[in-house]
Structures are given as structure tokens and as C-alpha cells.
Structure 1
């Protein structure tokens, strides 16, 4: 029996993952918000202050960005980490940032409170193993076309190193449909609750690729039992260097948070 199945049988309650002072998997519906990529100190600080004011508990921001085209903006790398560290110190928000290469782990771990494994690296087993050894909480996104079993085995690679602080994030899978960026699998949320003891998030930003669809899909995820949401927020989405089409501006994020509270309350959660 694998680790997840065994611990699911042994535990009466789901695993709670601690990121700074934030508990994921408890009564609180946790919202991670921020821009896809760190572009400047002013951009990330302004966004951090606004999402914090509106109820987000964790800040996202990518210093290293995997992009389909090598000519697209791929992040500010070390400079981005320095900016993220400064904003973290000023706001007190724990930060979630992506790790793409095990060789960068030492530097990223100096800043990150939680390491994100993106969909492209879900089956990068060398990276998963090294991240497991770090003992930092891990935010593991579903692969582009991965089954639930493949996804859970990816989590096993992390947990096999003694790190059970893993959060699973549904971010849509690739299907024949091209109106949306991906096809969000809402079913995965309650299914994973049956199959594992790990907290489950939904990323409706990557899941839909369209800002107009983020809010309704987010509300559906809450109703389905998600432990939290990851939302891309940018002060000026039309000028974003990465994922502007799916990013909410501050006004839209405020509206989403307002709509999310009664839905969360209806399923016994609070923001």
C-alpha cells in the first residue's frame, strides 16, 4: 500500500499543511493571490498590499517562469527572488513561488514559504525528490494530461522523502476543447478527498485562461469542497508580461472575494 492510501486509512482527519502562520486544510478557505510573474518591485508590492487587504492569506509570484516559447518573458530569476523577499518582509505575507530546477532550490528556499511545482514538472521525479528533502511545504499542480493516479504518485515522490506537507492543485487538463485554456476537472476535488488525506486547491486562472470565467469556476470549486483557491491578480492585466488574459484586476478580485464568502459559509468554511 502506498503512503497516501495507508495514511488515508490511518487518519480520521485530513492532513493540515502549515505555511507560515496559515493552516491549509482546516476550517479556513485559504486564498493564494498575486501576479503570474514578478515584473517590478512596485508591481508586486502594490498587488500584495491589495490582495492582503481583500482577504488573501498567501502571496504568489513567479521569479522563474516556464513558458512554451523560449522568447517569452521567463521571469526575473534571482532579481525576482530579491524583490519577493523585500515584499514579504514589508507585508508579512508568506510567499508561494515556483521551483523549476533542483539546482535553484537552495536560493529559492531562502525566500519561499511554500514551493510550487508547476504542471510541466509534475513528473520531474528528480525535482520532486529534492523538494521532498527540503521539508518546505509543496504546492503540487496537476500535469497537463495526468490522471489522478499519476498525480498522487507524484505526491508520493515528495512524501517518500519524509515530507507530508503537500497540497494538490487542480489547474485544468488538456482536452480537445480550445475555447478555454484548459478543461477544469471539478470532479477531481471531491475525488481526491476520497482517495487521499491531502488538501486540495483549485486554480481557476490557469484552468480557464479567461478572466471572465475565473470567478464562476472558483465558486464552483468552493462548493465542490476545495480547501483553497489560487488566483492570478495584476494591477493592469492588459500590460502583464505573462498570463494577462486570465488575470483579475483589483476590482474583479474584490468582487470575487465578496461572492466567495457566502459560498464558503454554505459549505462550512470561512475566508
Structure 2
């Protein structure tokens, strides 16, 4: 349930309402909006009468039931307001939100060596990226495929961060690795294959780094949002949703089906920011630019694009990776769309 306080409610009355509802065995989660304070009530609320709660204070404007199974992730939970996930980086705070400029994340599928990751970081930063992506631990379909260099790659990501000031996004696959990954990562990624690894979701929900939650390969939107709910319910409000393509009946021409319809759908369902990954979504470098620009036009808050200095020799996902030169051009192409829809950073990103 949601308890909406009236505009101008005194802080002493807000505290009194919170204490009163806590005494009922509920956990009131205070959400401070632009104009009003809202409480999300967590606990056994099925039998509660909204009118009973209304009588607690004359400063309560209304009491609403959240009809969606994903309570904290629902748009209703924040009275229609969008979340602003703020991620501190060496270059300053970056905002993931529908009310802020587009955030660009770029880099290789996996960290291969120091020279490669540092040089790629420099190139994507020069083009306009705010975050470097790179896998230290890689989940692969085949047990014989390259699965990342593991802990040693974390040190290489740290070196790239030191050299460029970019934020770092990297994937965690095992709860045992979370602490050491969190020492390097500014955003912890949960990959598609682990979207419903509930033990892992609870663990990342109990730490304070922002979490990038990729959609499972065959997951419905509701399953995806319920996975986000696990993280939110564990106490971490900083969740970013990432569409990376889903498995459909046609895999001959593209690796996955990039579901751009999630953008308007999620906007109506959740307050969480949205990222689109056209690299995994298509699996082919020549398709990435079109899908990236389409995602901006459709309203994405962020893009994740794979960039590798020599895709033909990449240890993983080479066919879907752009060269740094093609990424440079793509950022300029994207700026045209971004400016048109009012989501491009001002002053606009430019090559340096």
C-alpha cells in the first residue's frame, strides 16, 4: 500500500505517521518526491482497510493499494515519479534517469590484457562514453569458450579507471566474488543467465553499489521486474534495467530479437531507468548503429555498446563489436537523434 501525505505536511507529523504505522507491524519506507512525501508500506497489508490508515492523520491525502505483483519496482510506488540512479565516478556523478541526458557505456565483452583495455577505455572516453564495460568473469554457453581472466582482470579494469576516470561496469556471477568485484565496479552487472539467480539478487540487493539487471534470454517483462523486486526488497534502490535481446524463433539473421517495445511498456510500469544493449541484442556489428539510434528515438536512458580494437581477434563476441573508429562515428550519428529528443548532454559530446 502507499500512503500519500499532503503537500506541506510538517516533518513532525510525517514522523508520527511513520511511528504509528510501524507500531502496526508494518515497515513504512519513506519516499521524498518533488512535492510530496509518500510512504510505501511493506508487510501484511491485505486485510488492512485504507480508511483505517486514513484516520491516522489529517495530513494523509490518500491511501492506495499497489495492484502490481512488483511493488517497489512499480511506477505507482513513487507516485509516477522516475527514479534517479546516481553513480559516483572519478569524473563526477552520473545520473541514470528519464529526466537526464543519455548515458553511454562502451567497451569490450571481456578484458584481455592491460594495453587493450586501457587503450579502449581512452578511445571510448574520447568519443563520449561515461562508463567502461568489460567482463572479468564471463558466463559462456560452452564450458570450452573463454570465460574471462577472473580476479586478475579486475586489476586491469582498475588500471583503466585510473587512467581515464571512467566508471566501471562489470558482471558478477557468484556471490563469493561480489566483495572483490564491488571494490572495482561502480555498477555491478547481473547478466541475462543469472537474472533469476535469487540468492545472487538478494546479495547484490544487500550492498550499496548500483545494479545493472539484464533481462533473461527468455524472460517476460513481469519476470524481469520481479527479479528487480528481489534487489529492491533487499534494500538497494539503485537498479537499472537492461534489455539485451530475447530468444525468439528466428536466430538465422540476428543473434537475438532486440525488444525495443520494452521502452514504452516499462515507462508505464516502473520508475526504474532503462538501458538498451544493441550489441547483444543483434549480435552483428553492422546492425548495432541502427538499433542504437532507434533506442534513443524510443526513449532509452542509456546505451551499452561493445567496442574492441580488433574485433576479428576478440576472445569473445567479436562479430558484434564495433571498432573504435566506427564507435567514434556512431556517437556523432547518435547525437543527431539525441539532440532532437532532448536527451543529449549539453554541450554535446564531441571527439577530442
TM-score by length of 2: 0.75
Higher relative contact order (CA 8 A, sep 6+): 1
CA distance in 2, matches of 1:146, 1:57: 29
Q: CA RMSD in A?
A: 1.0
Match of 1:195 among 269, 276, 291: 269
Q: Aligned residues, how many?
A: 270
Deviation digits for residues 24-61 of structure 1 (CA, Å, limit 9, x no counterpart): 11321000000000000000000000000000011101
Deviation digits for residues 139-181 of structure 1 (CA, Å, limit 9, x no counterpart): 0000001010000000000000111100001111000111100
TM superposition shift of 1:87: 1.3
Match of 2:161 among 59, 64, 88: 88
2:257 paired with 1:183: yes
CA distance in 2, matches of 1:53, 1:123: 36
Q: How does 1:4-83 map to 2 (within 5 A)?
A: 4-5=73-74, 8-20=76-88, 21-25=93-97, 26-83=99-156
Runs of 4+ in 1 over 2 A off after TM superposition: 7-13
CA distance in 1, matches of 2:138, 2:174: 11
Contact 1:142–1:170 at 8 Å: present in 2 too? yes
Contact 2:87–2:187 at 8 Å: present in 1 too? yes
Which segments of 5 or more consecutive residues in structure 1 lack a partner in the other structure? Answer: none
CA distance in 2, matches of 1:90, 1:250: 17
TM-score by length of 1: 0.98
Which segments of 5 or more consecutive residues in structure 2 lack a partner in the other structure? Answer: 1-65, 346-352
Give the corresponding residue for 2:331.
257
Q: Secondary structure at the match of 1:4?
A: coil
Give the corresponding residue for 1:146.
219
Q: Secondary structure at the match of 2:293?
A: helix
CA distance in 2, matches of 1:9, 1:72: 43
Q: Which protein is richer in helix relative to its size?
A: 1
Q: Secondary structure at the match of 2:206?
A: helix
CA distance in 1, matches of 2:336, 2:182: 36
Match of 2:232 among 140, 156, 159: 159
Q: Which protein is richer in strand relative to its size?
A: 2
Contact 1:27–1:268 at 8 Å: present in 2 too? no
Contact 1:29–1:228 at 8 Å: present in 2 too? yes
